[in-house]
Amino acid sequence: MVVGPNPSCPSYKAWRGVSAHNARRAREESTSPRFLSKQMVVVPEDLRGVLLRFNPPASPTGAPEDPAPADATKPWDAGSGPATAAAGASSAAAPPLAKESTGGSSRGSSTGGRPDLDKALADLVGGDEATWLAATTAVRKALSAPAPANEGAIGAVIDRGALPRLIQLLDRADKPQLRLEATWALCNMAAGTSEQCRAVVRAGVLPPAIKLLESGDAELRDQAAWLLGNIAGDEADVRDEVVKAGAVPPLLAAIRAETSAGALKQQIWFLGNIVRKKGCDRAVMRSILPTLAYLGAAAAGRAGLDSEAGSAVSDRASACAATVLGNDTVVGDLMWAASYAADELVEALVEAAPDLVRAAAAVVNAAAPSPEALMPAIRLLGNLASGEKEATQAVIDSGVLTGGYTALLSRGSVRASIQKEVAWTLSNIAAGTADQARAVEEAGLLPVLVRLYDLQGDPSVHAEASFALAGLASTHEDLAIEVLEAGGVAPLSKFLRTYWGKAAAKGKGRPSDASATAAAEGLYVIAKAASKGGSLVGRANPALAAFLRAGVYRSIEEVADEGALPDQAAKWVAKILREYKEPPKEGEEGEDEEAQAEDPAAAEAEATDEEEGGELPPPASTFVKPEGGDEGGGASTGEGPGEGPEEVDGGGGGDSAGAGAGVGTGEASGEGAEPTGEDA
């Protein structure tokens, strides 16, 4: 007889919680980064009028500029500010996305053609300082030009030996315009290939760039954060170099003191890139929590409290934070940063920054959720739900179950990746305490999950819904009956038949084997729970009648006979067919009753089963935490669902984040243990 574990034990969530996160992050870490560097591209003269016609002067994120503090950087000037090559990409598809520059009038316009790069590089490496400003500006324009005009520009700067000079110019406090142009040029070089970015780092850019985070010039602080953010967003080992160079303390100090809207936006984006890649030092992760709390308070409409110092920040910094975090794209950057931190420090994040939960819930519960902020907000809440019971409860208490989650799962127009992420979060909540699982049912989400199979055709959504339904059924026998009465057996059996039947497509597009195991196990625990209440309905097991009506027996028998089911799922199906046989057809009842009357031992055993009550033993698979599990219970990711950020509207899902996008699946990675004995 298997004894059920304490639901608060971390390993209890291994089946549908932590393992899902680990599997997704493992996939993300094994693929190339989906990060899109910020590259500033100059708008040619003949296109500026068209751009202004359809896109009025905007903030660095491309959204209308909110009122900013008096000393905020100048709004984007069409005559000098760059448009981003990646600006058309979805900000939800892969955090962080490229953004437009916060250029000021001091940034000269481009003719649209490529400057004489060779002459500029020769002047730059020469000894005549009088030529350096013009040469640096020409180099910056060549690097900022749209493709194909900028092809080979980064390589030329490196090959001609101009990179050390550009880095040297970062220390020229006596030449502010020259220093700004050099920082801008280096920012675009860091947005090149990974090897080009590494070349910039090897040349010694980090120390002088980090110093610029403390500059009195808002434009320089903006550009320094942009440059360092591009570097940190390259690869984990390059990010580690940024951290080791000491970038984090001055960045955190700059965020809490920043009075420039443009600079603060870049600093928040840079902060997200510090924690985006897995493996960031835990001490560093903990050091950013007070700053996340400060930003979360601003996003939740309570700006002004510096949670690290416990004192009020300056009125101008508070106003700046409130203004900037009224921008959906910046809120999205903040939510991604918090979701990455929650991967490692979920309980600590909830304790230190409760306002982040409120801010994420506000995004999800909005009548018209922001495409830029919705996916990262859902990812943050999903990561929290995979933590211990306090973190899971914070998600429940935020009101998303009856609010945004119900709405997002009920609309066919919502992107599949969003619905997948929400269903994954519900499966994590279902793996919590019995009361937390009941909160899902009490929110009316059971019929919503059942309808989701018909509403959305994406198999990854079906897989997450199967995890959620099976998780609820496995928590307690009365919830198993609720799943039965909500019509949950039909979609679970259809899920098995659709993706593992003879006619099902093999390979790509098929959900994980673990999802098949969950669906089969869910059917078994529903049948088991219903058998214990049989005396209330004339000794008939209502689950078996539901199985018969929904064609469950036919579906699972056929798919089992075809031998296509994963081993663990096949064993659960065999257990159903062996222990809960198909009820007799009409006219055969009397014969069956006579057989039971002639077998008093069987009747006595059944009566014993009926007397048993209480909590169902959890699936055997919940006892083993998968290898490689993160200490502290991580949650979901990836460009979430498993890829990085994704879009809200549009077609089917697809890595968050990422950081790519569709989202890698949030399905659990480990297979369930082999069902054994009566209470497997």
pLDDT digits (tens, 9 = 90+) for 153-211: 999 999 999 999 999 999 999 999 999 999 999 999 999 999 999 999 999 999 999 99
Q: Is the dihedral of CA 482, 485, 489, 491 positive or negative?
A: negative
Rounded to the nearest 5 degrees, what angle is found at the Cα of 671, between the Cα atoms of 669 and 673? 145
DSSP secondary structure string, 392-403? Answer: HHHHHHTTTIII
Number of other CB atoms surrounding residue 30 within 10 Å: 7
Residue 420 CA to residue 459 CA, distance in Å, equals 9
**Tokens linked to 83:** 């448009």
Q: With contact defined as beta carbons under 8 Å apart, do 193 and 39 qualify?
A: no
Residue 33 CA to residue 553 CA, distance in Å, equals 45
Q: Is the dihedral of CA 196, 198, 202, 204 positive or negative?
A: positive
Coil, strand or helix: which one is 82?
strand
* CATH for 34-271, options being 3.40.50.2300, 1.10.10.10, 1.20.1740.10, 1.25.10.10: 1.25.10.10
pLDDT at 573: 92
Strand partners, 312: 305
User: How far lies 587's CA from each of 535, 545, 550, 655, in Å?
Assistant: 21, 15, 20, 55
Residues in the chain: 680
pLDDT at 522: 94
pLDDT at 678: 40
Give the list of residues 6+ apart from residue 7 with CB closer than 8 angstroms, or none. Answer: 389, 432, 433, 434, 475
Q: What is the pLDDT of residues 121-136, one digit of tens each?
A: 999 999 899 999 999 9
Q: With contact defined as beta carbons under 8 Å apart, do 33 and 234 qualify?
A: yes
Q: What is the pLDDT of residues 499-534, one digit of tens each?
A: 887 666 665 667 889 999 999 999 999 999 888 754
Residue 87 CA to residue 38 CA, distance in Å, equals 9
Who has greater pLDDT, 95 or 311?
311
Q: Is the dihedral of CA 526, 528, 532, 534 positive or negative?
A: positive
Half-sphere exposure of 121 (CA within 13 A, CB side): 17
Residue 566 CA to residue 669 CA, distance in Å, equals 13
pLDDT at 585: 61
Give the list of residues 6+ apart from residue 397 with CB closer than 8 angstroms, or none. Answer: none
The pLDDT-based confidence of 602 (bands split at 50, 70, 90) is very low
> pTM of the entire structure?
0.72
Q: With contact defined as beta carbons under 8 Å apart, do 55 and 87 qualify?
A: no
Q: Which uninterrupted H or E stretch holds 593? A: helix 589-597
Give the list of residues 6+ apart from residue 539 with CB closer than 8 angstroms, or none. Answer: 606
Residues 637-672: b if buried by 16+ CB within 10 A, e if exposed: bbbbbbbbbbbbebebbbbbbbbbbbbbbbbbbbbb
Residue 630: burial class (beta carbons within 10 Å; 0-12, 13-18, 19+): middle
Residue 337 CA to residue 292 CA, distance in Å, equals 8
DSSP secondary structure string, 290-328? Answer: HHHHHHHHHHTT-TTEETTTTEE--HHHHHHHHHHTTSH
Number of other CB atoms surrounding residue 576 within 10 Å: 28
Q: With contact defined as beta carbons under 8 Å apart, do 469 and 486 qualify?
A: no
Give the list of residues 6+ apart from residue 518 with CB closer than 8 angstroms, or none. Answer: 15, 16, 466, 467, 470, 471, 668, 672
Q: What is the pLDDT of residues 36-93, one digit of tens each?
A: 455 554 444 555 454 444 444 433 333 323 333 333 222 222 223 322 333 233 333 3
Q: With contact defined as beta carbons under 8 Å apart, do 18 and 675 qualify?
A: no
Q: Which uninterrupted H or E stretch holds 84? A: strand 82-84
> Which segment of 216-220, 308-312, 369-373, 411-415 scores lowest on mean pLDDT?
308-312
Give the list of residues 6+ apart from residue 43 with CB closer than 8 angstroms, or none. Answer: 51, 78, 81, 82, 83, 110
**Tokens linked to 208:** 């002088």
Coil, strand or helix: which one is 13?
helix
User: How far lies 540's CA from each of 544, 582, 583, 592, in Å?
Assistant: 8, 12, 9, 12
Kindly tell me if the per-residue pLDDT of 97 is higher than 90. Answer: no
Residue 221 CA to residue 211 CA, distance in Å, equals 9
Rounded to the nearest 5 degrees, what angle is found at the Cα of 128, between the Cα atoms of 125 and 133? 75
Place of tokens 């006219």: 587
> Which segment of 1-10, 253-262, 484-493, 642-651 scores lowest on mean pLDDT?
642-651
Q: With contact defined as beta carbons under 8 Å apart, do 71 and 319 qualify?
A: no
Residue-averaged pLDDT of the chain: 74
The pLDDT-based confidence of 98 (bands split at 50, 70, 90) is very low
- The crossing angle, in degrees rounded to 10, of helices 236-244 and 194-202 is 20
